[in-house]
Amino acid sequence: MDDSNSKNDSMRAGSRFAGKVAVVTGAAGGFGRAIARRLAEEGAAVALADIDSGKGKRTTAQLAGRGARVLFETVDVSKGEDVRRLMERTCGAFGGIDILVNNAGYCHRARPLWKLAEADYDRVFEVNTKSVYLGVVHGVPRLLERGGGVIVNTASIGALRPRPLITAYNATKGAVITLTRGLATELAPHGIRVNAVNPVAADTDFMKGPSGGRKLDDAGRDVLQKTIPLGRLAEPADVAAAVAYLASDDAAFLTGVCLDVDGGRSIG
């Protein structure tokens, strides 16, 4: 689902993040695009990062056309030099970093774990888990320069209620939850809050990963929706709203929280 409005739409006035600078990885589409847009709508300057340069630049241009202060950097979040360059360029353009959203993700094709190629196993851990480590290594010093800040990681409800055939993916998101909680205790004395969101499945291009490149069809959508008490898949705007809340002063006393954005799937 496209989270954008018409091309002639302008960014609505917002002040919750006025004067703040955010970095959002995996921002070319899906959850990341919605998160970047939501933060920009509410006043933040936003650095968008993605491995897909074409799509990322188009998304960034769309936001700039609506009046947002944005930049785009092509980044492989599993590469330390790429992440370092992202943080450096963001600080050079906007003066610092206040909010880091480690959102980039990858899912291997659905199959039993014992049939998953070693390269696919390595890649899913690099993109989903190592990326959080690299974001922290290169991002925390920048947050400290501003006297503190917020980190929000994208995990998954699959970490708590795993689906079959994507076991390695689920494991990476379990690691993201553990990283989030551990980092919350490490960074609290430094004025940095660390939280996560646990989304349920959404009808975005991300779903092409487990399906081998195919879009989610009606039958697949129906199967997934039947497991969700509220009766629908997540929308990017749902996740963006949760991230914006956790990144804002409205959540000033929340750290180590892993918020289920799942329509009740974790309890259904």
Of 156, 257, 153, 266, give the one whose Cα is nearest residue 202.
Answer: 156
For residue 197, the cross-strand partners are 154, 259
The Cβ of residue 219 has, within 10 Å, a number of other Cβ atoms equal to 8
| CB-based burial, 116-137: b 16+ in 10 Å, e otherwise | beeebbeebbbbbbbbbbbbbe
Rounded-to-integer distance, Cα 108 and Cα 115, Å: 11
Of 155, 159, 234, 160, give the one whose Cα is nearest residue 195.
Answer: 155
Of 183, 98, 100, give the one whose Cα is nearest residue 148.
Answer: 98
Phi-psi region of 96 (alpha: psi -120 to 50; beta: other; left: phi over 0): left
Ranges of H-type helices in the chain: 30-41, 53-65, 80-94, 118-125, 131-145, 167-187, 218-225, 236-247
Q: Is 169 a catalytic residue?
A: yes
Residue 8 CB-half CA count within 13 A: 0
Instruction: Out of 106, 121, 133, 169, pick the active-site residue.
Output: 169
- Among all residues, which ones are annotated catalytic? 169
